[in-house]
Structure 1
Amino acid sequence: MKTVLNISAYLFTPITDREQLRPVLRARAEAAGLKGTILLAEEGINMFLAGDPDSVRGFVVELREDPRFAGLTTKESWSAEQPFRKLLVKLKREIIRMDHPTIRPLEERAPAVEPRTLKRWLDQGHDDAGREIVMLDTRNAFEVDYGTFAGAVDWRIERFTHFPEAASTHREALEGKTVVSFCTGGIRCEKAAIYLREDGIDALQLEGGILGYFEHVGQDHYDGECFVFDEREALAPDLSPRGGNAL
C-alpha cells in the first residue's frame, strides 16, 4: 500500500526576501514531517516534497496563502516509503540554472499546450494549423535514456546550461515547425520555449511537463519511464515508482 504522497511544484514569481523566507519554510516543513528539497531564487520557487498526505497538502495550502504563491500547482504521485533522506531548503541564483539572464519567465510565459491537446495533435500527426510537430526533449541525456516521447528530438545535452548552444546549432531543423518543448515537470521546458521564441522559433511548452502528461493522458505516444530526482529513480506512465504498481 502506497501511503506517502510525493509532490513536485514550481512557480516563477518575484521573491525579494528569500533569506528571510528560507527559515520560515524550513520550520513549517519540519513541523509537518516533510522531507525533500525546496529551492528559492529571486525568480521563484521549485520544490519536491514527500510525507503524510494531509501534511503535504496542508503545507501547500498554507504556502498559497502568500499572494506570491497563490498560483502554485502541484503534481502528485505515491510511494510506499519516503523517497527523500532529509529536508533541504536552499537559496539559488536560478530555480533551474540556464545561465541566460535575459530569459525571465516571471515577466511573460511562453504559450503552452495542454496534455490532452498534445495527444490529439500527435494522434493526427500535426497541430490544428496542419503544421509538423517537433517534440523537443530539453532534459539531460541520461534522463532521456529512461524514456521519452516517440520520435522526440534529443540533443544529448549533459546539463541544461548547454541548451542555448545546442538550440543555436540545431536551429535550422526547427524552423517552420511547431516545436513542443518538454521536460519532467515543466520548469526547464518553460525556459527553453522562451529562449526558442526569442530566437524566432514557434515553440510551445508542454503544460505540466511529462508528469502532467502522465496524469492527464497516460502512456500514449510515450516510450518508457520518466526519471525523477529521488530514490524512486523513475516513474511509469501510471505514476507508479519503478518496479511498483499504482495506488
Structure 2
Amino acid sequence: MNTPSYVNIAAYKFVTFDDTEQKRPEFQEFCRQHGLRGTIILSPEGINLFLAASREAIDAFLLWLRADARFSDIEVKESYSEHQPFNRMLVKLKAEIITMKHPLIKPEEGRAPSVEAQTLKRWLDQGHDDNGKPVVMMDTRNAFEVDVGTFDDTIDYRISKFTEFPQVVVDHKAELDGKTIVTFCTGGIRCEKAAIYMQNIGYDSVYQLDGGILKYFEEVGAAHYTGDCFVFDYRTALNPQLQETATVQCYACRAVVTPREQLSASYVAGKSCPHCTPSALENASATAQVEA
C-alpha cells in the first residue's frame, strides 16, 4: 500500500503570545521555504494551525515551532491525503485564535476538566459517568458542521457562529442540572473555551473532549458517532478512519453537499448545488421569516 503524499496536521495552544507581529514574517518565510500550505492564526492568546505538506516538511515545521519554549509541548493531530487540501499559505493575526468575544476566558490560566476518548466511550457505553450522573454530549460547532456528522443523541443548538454559544448555554442551563456535560468540537479548541465558560456561569459537571472529534476517531473510531467530521479544507469531511470522503462543499453557496445530493441535476461542480438553486433559496427565506 502506497504511503499518502501529504500529512495534514491540526494543532492549537492557548499561551501568552505578545510578539505575534514580529513572529509573523518568520512563520511566513519558513512555510514558504518548506512548501507548507494551510492557515496559521497568531493571537495574543496563542496559536491555531491547519497545515499540509510532505512528511519531511511537517516534521521540520514541528521541530522549528517546538524550539520556541511556548510551543514546546503543543499537541498535534494528524491525518493523511493523496493531494494537497489547501491552495495557499496564510499566516493571520487575530485578537483570538477562536472568536468567542469573551476576553475574560483565558484557558492558559486554567483549563476545564477534560475527558479522554477511551473514558468517554466507556461512559457512553454504560450511560453515565463514574459518579453515576447521566452523560450529555454538547456540540459546540456550527449547524452546517453538525449536519455532516455528530455523536448520537447530542445536544445541537443550531448555532451559526461560535459567538452565539454563550447565550445559548445560559438560556438552557436549568434543563441540564444534575447531568454531566461533555462539550466537543472538531479538534478541541472551541470546546475548551466552551467548557471554561460553562464552569464560569455555574455548570457544576462539565468536561471538554480532549482533542475533539479527530482525536476520538484516532483512538476510538466510530463508537457512538454517526456520520463524518467536517474539516475546514478541501477534503470537506473525514470518516472515522480519518479518510477523505465523497462529501464536498459548494463553491457558490458554501453549503455541504452529500454524495446523494451530488446526483441532483442542480449540482454542477464549482457552480451550483441543490442548496443554492432559486427554489431552495426561496424556501430558506420563507422558513427564516416564519422562525423570526
TM range (shorter): over 0.9
Q: Which of 134, 143, 147 is the aligned partner of 2:145? A: 143
| Residue in 2 that maps onto 1:84 | 86
Query: What's the secondary structure of 2:132's corresponding residue?
Result: coil
How many Å apart are 1:196 and its aligned residue? 0.4
**Mind listing any 5+ residue stretches in structure 2 that lack a counterpart?**
248-292
Give the whole-Å Cα distance in 1 for the aligned partners of 2:176 and 2:21.
Answer: 41
| Residue in 2 that maps onto 1:203 | 206
Query: What's the secondary structure of 2:107's corresponding residue?
Result: coil
Residue 228 of structure 1 pairs with residue 236 of structure 2: no
Report which of the two structures shows the higher radius of gyration computed on alpha carbons. 2
How many Å apart are 1:102 and its aligned residue? 1.2
| Residue in 2 that maps onto 1:93 | 95
Residue 218 of structure 1 pairs with residue 221 of structure 2: yes
Give the whole-Å Cα distance in 2 for the aligned partners of 1:146 and 1:171.
Answer: 26
C-alpha RMSD over aligned residues: 0.9
Q: Which of 7, 14, 17 is the aligned partner of 1:15? A: 17
Q: Which of 11, 18, 36 is the aligned partner of 1:34? A: 36
How many residue pairs get aligned? The number is: 244
Query: What's the secondary structure of 1:154's corresponding residue?
Result: coil
Q: How do residues 13-162 of structure 1 correspond to structure 2 at under 5 angstroms?
A: 13-162=15-164
| Residue in 1 that maps onto 2:187 | 185
How many Å apart are 1:243 and its aligned residue? 3.3
Give the residue type in structure 1 aligned to 2:210. E
Structure 1 runs of 4+ aligned residues shifted over 6 Å read none
What's the TM-score, normalizing by structure 2?
0.82
Q: How do residues 227-246 of structure 1 correspond to structure 2 at under 5 angstroms?
A: 227-243=230-246
Mean alpha-carbon deviation: is it higher for 7-16 or for 52-61?
52-61
How many Å apart are 1:208 and its aligned residue? 0.1
What is the CA deviation profile of residues 34-84 of structure 1, one whole-angstrom value per residue up to 9, with x for unaligned ones? 000000000000000000011112101110110000120100000110000
Query: What's the secondary structure of 1:71's corresponding residue?
Result: coil
How many Å apart are 1:106 and its aligned residue? 1.1
Q: Which has the higher contact order (CA 8 A, sep 6+)?
A: 1
Give the whole-Å Cα distance in 2 for the aligned partners of 1:189 and 1:30.
Answer: 32
Give the whole-Å Cα distance in 1 for the aligned partners of 2:218 and 2:63.
Answer: 21
**Mind listing any 5+ residue stretches in structure 1 that lack a counterpart?**
none
Give the residue type in structure 2 aligned to 1:160. F
- Identity %, equivalent residues: 55
What is the CA deviation profile of residues 143-181 of structure 1, one whole-angstrom value per residue up to 9, with x for unaligned ones? 000000000000000000000011111111221111000
